[in-house]
Amino acid sequence: MLKAKKGGPVVNPKSLTVTLAPAIHYRQSTTNWSSQPLQPIVWEVLLEAARRAPSSWNHQPARYVVVDHQQTKKRLMSVIHRGNAWAGKAPGWVVQFACPADDDIIDGKPYYLYDCGLAMMSLIYQAQVLGLVARQMIGWDEQGVKEVLALPKHARVVVITALGYPPSTSFARRMTHFRRRMTQQHKRFAVAYLAAREHWGNPLCQVD
């Protein structure tokens, strides 16, 4: 795994909390939601946020199917891996897909995946601003998802994101935090491990 040379802490993570955008600071992937559905206007705003994301040469490869009808969810659940059974509790899902030929491939690197990631991140931060919580998943049978949603032949399913409002009971909220801690989901590599200054291996010094 690539890592920068070990250095001391670059910035005090606590001091970052005042400058980080709240949507970034408070975002967490959750597996618990209230049953409150997402209103059509909310879906529109979320997809508008995704639509405004930048993409390589403005190719805009990402496409979406919103799923919030019980019957479609039930059919999709049958092609989702068992480890992601939590997804069934979410009031809505957005399935992101793309045709790789719609975007650049540079030195063998297919940029549709990068561009789709940018768009989904925009959608998720917008969701956070609207008081929603989300969890992305890649554990499903791609052919099955394509068949259930009648996606085009050349489409690749990139990610499925479950969305909803946070659970209203304090027990459910506590369970979310407990599960998060158990799976160490909150843990991140230190910036000094991820980044260098001027050349790889040169520690990133204190930000002045």
Site residues for ligand FMN per CB under 6 A:
28-29, 84, 135-139, 159, 185
Least distance to ligand FMN from the beta carbon of 152, Å? Answer: 22
Least distance to ligand FMN from the beta carbon of 43, Å? Answer: 21
Least distance to ligand FMN from the beta carbon of 44, Å? Answer: 24
Nearest to 93 by CA among 49, 57, 132: 132
Q: How many CA atoms lie within 13 A of 5 on its CB side?
A: 11
Q: Which is nearer to ligand FMN, 6 or 187 (CB)?
A: 187
- The total of other beta-carbon atoms located within 10 Å of residue 167's CB is 20
Rounded Cα distance between 132 and 130, Å, is 6
Least distance to ligand FMN from the beta carbon of 198, Å? Answer: 30
- The total of other beta-carbon atoms located within 10 Å of residue 128's CB is 19
Q: Which is nearer to ligand FMN, 28 or 72 (CB)?
A: 28
In the three-class reduction of DSSP (H, G, I as helix; E, B as strand; rest coil), residue 127 is classed as: helix
Q: Which is nearer to ligand FMN, 170 or 184 (CB)?
A: 184
Q: Which is nearer to ligand FMN, 20 or 138 (CB)?
A: 138
